[in-house]
Amino acid sequence: MPTLLDLTSQGDVGTITDESKLSASYTLQTPQQLYELWERQQWQSHVIDLSQDREDWMALSEDDRAHLSWNLSSFFIGEERVTTQFSGLVQAYEDQSEEAYLTTQQVDEARHAQHFNRFYEQVVGLDGTFDARLERARNDLNPAFIQLFDGELVQSGKRLIADPTDIEAKVDFVTLYHMIIEGTLALTGQFFITEYLEEKGILPGFVEGFRLISQDEHRHVAYGTWFLQQKARDPALRRRIADRLMHLIPIAAGVLVPPGADPYNFEILGYSSEQTNGFAFKALNRRLKVIGVDMAAAAA
């Protein structure tokens, strides 16, 4: 069973990027370095073998399938949302290296959605189109998820598309997308779901793709941390990041709550709300330290 200490011992669930090896000097990888890392970390979602996964899925109890469905649907829709809402940030690049990096992130997100679409088609057995499967998976989502991904994220993306030179809009977007959605929610979900499936020894194809997705997400979060660290040198932007987080964290906490569960005391795949929330928010706080944002000051 993981504890909060696992976060430090595992370097935030990965040794993929230098983000997990932050030194006191807090030197982060630049967009140029992250672009080059992307070239070295290519993978293909469509070659992963899902045949054993289908057998495993059919052998699961109704209850286990329902629990997993809720968790996986959030990722399936989440990957679709972050792909389609990313375009404004690509337009908001400030130099050529950043542009190169940002284009890679959008295609990564499309590939992640492809992995889930394939899983829902071949393993869960949902017929029809990609769009029809997304629509079916939407039935599993909770209201906080809708608020964050259809409300906050879409609004934030529209502001950036309206004016890609608006630095405040860019800071708001990256705070939501890279710090909350990826750094807090996605990496936490990936850690617990992967551990659960590996302990049970099931869905090996899904896990193979999910680990590669996690590798990409660490690179994405490394970009967001780098970007916000640069901008947080300006006290007004630093304050802005903290204010956005104060608004977004309660919504993000709601995303982790299974439908119908007590938000203060629930279990996901056998992990307590204390464990999942603790993991999520410790990961966030560690990055905020690197960025130079003090949430305690913002709350005062």
Contact positions with Fe ion (CB under 5 A) in 236-265: none
Decide if residue 219 touches Fe ion (CB under 5 A).
Answer: no
For Fe ion, the closer CB: 179 or 257: 179
Rg of the Cα atoms in the chain: 18
Using CB under 5 A, pick the residue from 170, 220, 231, 287 that binds Fe ion.
220
CA atoms within 13 A on the CB side of 28: 21
CA proximity to 221, closest of 282, 175, 259, 281:
175
For Fe ion, the closer CB: 186 or 232: 186
Instruction: State the minimum distance, in angstroms, from the CB of residue 181 to Fe ion.
Output: 8
Measured at the alpha carbon of residue 76, what is the angle toward residues 72 and 80, in degrees to the nearest 5?
165
Contact positions with Fe ion (CB under 5 A) in 55-84: 79
Instruction: State the minimum distance, in angstroms, from the CB of residue 61 to Fe ion.
Output: 29
Q: Pull the structure tokens for residue 126.
A: 């949902």
For Fe ion, the closer CB: 115 or 238: 115
For Fe ion, the closer CB: 169 or 179: 179
Burial of 156 (0-12, 13-18, 19+ CB in 10 A): buried
Q: What is the DSSP letter of 186?
A: I
For Fe ion, the closer CB: 85 or 276: 85
Contact positions with Fe ion (CB under 5 A) in 149-208: 182
User: What is d(CA 237, CA 136) in angstroms, rounded to the nearest whole number?
Assistant: 40
Decide if residue 109 touches Fe ion (CB under 5 A).
Answer: yes
Largest CA distance in the chain: 55
Instruction: Report residue 206 CA to chain centroid gap.
Output: 17
For Fe ion, the closer CB: 112 or 287: 112
Decide if residue 112 touches Fe ion (CB under 5 A).
Answer: yes
Q: How many residues bind Fe ion (CB under 5 A)?
A: 6
Decide if residue 218 touches Fe ion (CB under 5 A).
Answer: no
Q: Which residues bind Fe ion (CB under 5 A)?
A: 79, 109, 112, 182, 217, 220
